Amino acid sequence: MKNASVSLFALFLLLPVLRVSAQDLGGLVDEIESRTHFGIFTDFRSEFFDDDGTHSYEGTFVGHVSTQLSPRFKYFAEFTLTPDRGYFGQIRLERSLFQFFYSDLLQLRFGRLHTPISRWNVLYHHGQYLQTTINRPDILKSSNRLSPIHSTVIEVGGSYGMAAGRVTYAAGIGASDDHIHPPGVGVLLQQNPAWYVSAAFVPERLMDLRIGGTLYREKVQYHPEIDDGRPHNHDLHSIDRDQTINLHMTYDGRKWSLLSELMAVTHWGKERYGGTAGYYAQVERQLPAPYERGIAYVRYDRLVRNMDDPVFSTDPFRVSTGVTSGVRVNIYTRVAITTELRMYGEDLTFPERHLYVQLSAGF
Amino acid sequence: MRRMFSYITLLLGLTGVMAVGTPDVVQAQSDPLVLIVHPENAAEDLSYQDVRRIARLDRLYWTQTDGIVLLLPGPAADERRRTLNRVFQMSEQAFKQHWVSVAYQTEVLSLPRPYTECAVAVRIVGSLKNAAAFVHASCVDETVRVVAVDGKLPSDPGYRL
């Protein structure tokens, strides 16, 4: 409720913020000085599960607003509205950040944001209309406990151009807003002071290619008051630090694109628990004429868990594999329909099969 | 299982039918595109890649701290198709989605301003020292300056816009 109040307050506070230039060019400059932008995403999807023939429905409404408060200062807020726990709906403040732009090389951000621990997390997150697929990669699902996807931080970042290409960087310090919740253990770990550094390179001759990575570290803490009454996993109590390393390579061409990421996780407790890693590779291809409104895609996901790591010791599988494929069709300029088949399991011999249909829009 | 594949067949068929679109009509353009700036702007010659970076907002500043105010052709502007083809290398659909995506990622200070008539863009660039716009060469007057691309002006062979 507190989040809802904050979101609505931020939205209404920013509605009237339209700056007017002192210069008079018949209103032309006034128009370009109006720097408030509103955006909306909405989606509705249905999932069919083949084991028992059941199906479910889900939808999301995402609003975001940004306003340039001064020639160098900007505020951005995003909220989500989802039908949750049987009522419509749960409103949540997703992002709220101030940004200071000094130059290409130096920019500051502070507030709640999507942790740049993954390219997908920065590009899409709740932007269901923006992403081609319906499901996000397995390494970014909170249930898989690989990546803290929300953070409240102060971050310095920017980009530097040189002959070979352009380097972008970001370094932040703050705290993650996410929890680690191993299944069936009944204990949460809340994450405390965290820091990250990330960098990426875009070559001069191939601007659609991007190669980069992130190192993320944080302290973690056991919270007994969140215990749900089930037996404690005492090894989990000892974990006090974790580290996530991400490497990504993306190519966003005119006809086809590639998204690929690798993520490796280490926890420190009674001992060092490394060896948990996941990756995905997704290829998208625009269909040839006269079907160019359609994009066909396929993604391969794989996770390998260290079962000695208390965070993953209660997972049903050491290795899990997923294959996601589908077709997205842009039926109107800002409306798309997507059909997706996802197979997931310990291996793909007897996988779970899910079929999804989604209607999404972005404005 | 059969029920599942019936669903798949039906839905893929439906999406395939909906995917049929009208092919883009490629129009011949003899009037080259130019990047114009204020006459006092220090930028005289940019690489093609830098022009693309400015257009895509990968580069936000002319100099250390002098921000770029960018004007791009709106949907009804004559320059629209050529800008999409030569600068952005995107379809109309991808172009619109690109800006929704840029707004969502929060990495830029403000979005480009669309214009409908190139005369309006020329007037604004001639009045704002840090403004830039992509317009047809035929629209340029003495109030603005054309930026060379890879050392070439529109009259030179091999000009890329």
Whether B158 is in a domain gets the answer no
Report the relative pairing of strands A352-362 and A36-49 from DSSP bridges: antiparallel
Q: Which residues of B touch A104 (CB under 8 A)?
A: 59-61
CA distance A330 to chain B (A): 7
Q: Which residues of B touch A166 (CB under 8 A)?
A: 53, 58-59
Closest-CA residue of chain B to A342: B8
Name the strand (E) or helix (H) holding B94: helix B92-105
Report the relative pairing of strands A272-286 and A294-304 from DSSP bridges: antiparallel
Please report the pLDDT score of residue B92 as a whole number. 86
The structure tokens 């209404």 sit at A12
Q: Do B15 and A339 touch (CB under 8 A)?
A: yes
Q: Do B111 and B104 meet the contact criterion of CB atoms below 8 Å apart?
A: no
CA distance B133 to chain A (A): 12
Of A66, A101, A123, the CB nearest to B60: A101
Closest-CA residue of chain A to B113: A32
Phi, psi of B126 (to 5 degrees): -70, -15
Of B8, B64, B128, the CB nearest to A103: B64
Asked whether residue B98 carries a pLDDT value surpassing 70, the answer given is: yes
Can you list the positions of beta strands (E) in chain A? Answer: 36-49, 55-70, 73-84, 87-101, 107-114, 150-162, 165-176, 179-180, 188-203, 209-223, 241-252, 256-268, 272-286, 294-304, 319-332, 335-345, 352-362
Q: Comparing C-alpha atoms, which of A137, A166, A88 is closest to residue B54?
A: A166
Tell me the per-residue pLDDT of A65-102, one tens digit each, with 9 for 90 and over. Answer: 988 888 889 999 999 888 765 555 678 888 999 999 99
Provide the token pair at A107.
């920019």
Dihedral sign for Cα A317, A320, A325, A330, please: positive
Asked whether residue A362 carries a pLDDT value surpassing 90, the answer given is: no
Closest-CA residue of chain A to B94: A254
DSSP readout, B1-52?
-HHHHHHHHHHHHHHHHHH--PPPPPPP--S-EEEEE-TT-S--EE-HHHHH
CB atoms within 10 A of CB A54: 9
- How far is A239 from A271, CA to CA, in rounded Å? 9
Closest-CA residue of chain B to A332: B93
Domain span holding position B96: 2-149
State the alpha helices, DSSP H only, in A53-179: 119-123
- How far is B53 from B59, CA to CA, in rounded Å? 5
Mean pLDDT of A233-242: 79
Q: Do B16 and A289 touch (CB under 8 A)?
A: no
The structure tokens 């530097």 sit at A160
Please report the pLDDT score of residue A224 as a whole number. 63
Tell me the per-residue pLDDT of B50-73, one tens digit each, with 9 for 90 and over. Answer: 999 999 998 999 887 788 999 999
Q: Do A103 and B120 touch (CB under 8 A)?
A: no
Mean pLDDT of A196-206: 93
The pLDDT mean for chain B works out to: 82
Of A29, A68, A109, the CB nearest to B110: A68
Domain spans of chain A, in order of start: 129-362
Whether B161 is in a domain gets the answer no
A152: Cα separation from own chain's centroid: 14
- Bridge partners (DSSP) of residue A360 are A43, A336
Cβ pairs A/B, distance under 8 A = 148
Tell me the per-residue pLDDT of A33-72, one tens digit each, with 9 for 90 and over. Answer: 557 888 888 888 888 876 666 677 888 888 989 888 888 8
Q: Do A294 and B19 touch (CB under 8 A)?
A: yes
Global ipTM: 0.77
Q: Do A104 and A91 meet the contact criterion of CB atoms below 8 Å apart?
A: no
- Bridge partners (DSSP) of residue A56 are A47
Whether B115 is in a domain gets the answer yes
In percent, the amount of chain A with pLDDT more than 70 equals 82
- How far is B147 from B137, CA to CA, in rounded Å? 11
Asked whether residue B149 carries a pLDDT value surpassing 60, the answer given is: yes
Q: Out of 3.50.50.100, 2.40.160.10, 2.90.10.10, 3.30.1360.170, select the CATH number for domain A129-362.
A: 2.40.160.10
Q: Do B70 and B55 meet the contact criterion of CB atoms below 8 Å apart?
A: yes
Q: Comparing C-alpha atoms, which of A86, A237, A101 is closest to residue A159?
A: A101
- How far is B98 from A129, CA to CA, in rounded Å? 11
- How far is A188 from A180, CA to CA, in rounded Å? 6
- Structurally, chain B folds into a number of domains equal to 1
Q: Do B7 and A355 touch (CB under 8 A)?
A: yes
Q: Is the pTM of this model over 0.90?
A: no
Q: Do B93 and A293 touch (CB under 8 A)?
A: yes
Please report the pLDDT score of residue A17 as a whole number. 34
Of B94, B106, B124, the CB nearest to A29: B124
* Strand ranges of the sheet holding B33-37, from the earlier edge strand across to the other edge: B113-115, B69-73, B131-136, B33-37, B145-146
Q: Which residues of B touch A39 (CB under 8 A)?
A: 100, 103-104
- SS3 (DSSP) at A144: helix
Which of A247-261, A304-318, B7-21 shows the lowest mean pLDDT across its residues?
B7-21
Please report the pLDDT score of residue A58 as a whole number. 81
Provide the token pair at A225.
């008051």
Cβ-defined contacts of A254-259 (< 8 Å, 24+): A254/A286, A254/B89, A254/B90, A254/B91, A254/B94, A255/A285, A255/A286, A256/A283, A256/A284, A256/A285, A256/A286, A257/A283, A257/A284, A258/A282, A258/A283, A258/A284, A259/A119, A259/A120, A259/A284, A259/A299
Of A32, A327, A341, the CB nearest to B15: A327
- How far is B154 from B137, CA to CA, in rounded Å? 8
In percent, the amount of chain B with pLDDT more than 70 equals 82
CA distance B149 to chain A (A): 15
Provide the token pair at A135.
């499901």
| CATH, residue B72 | 3.40.190.10
Of B16, B97, B110, the CB nearest to A130: B97
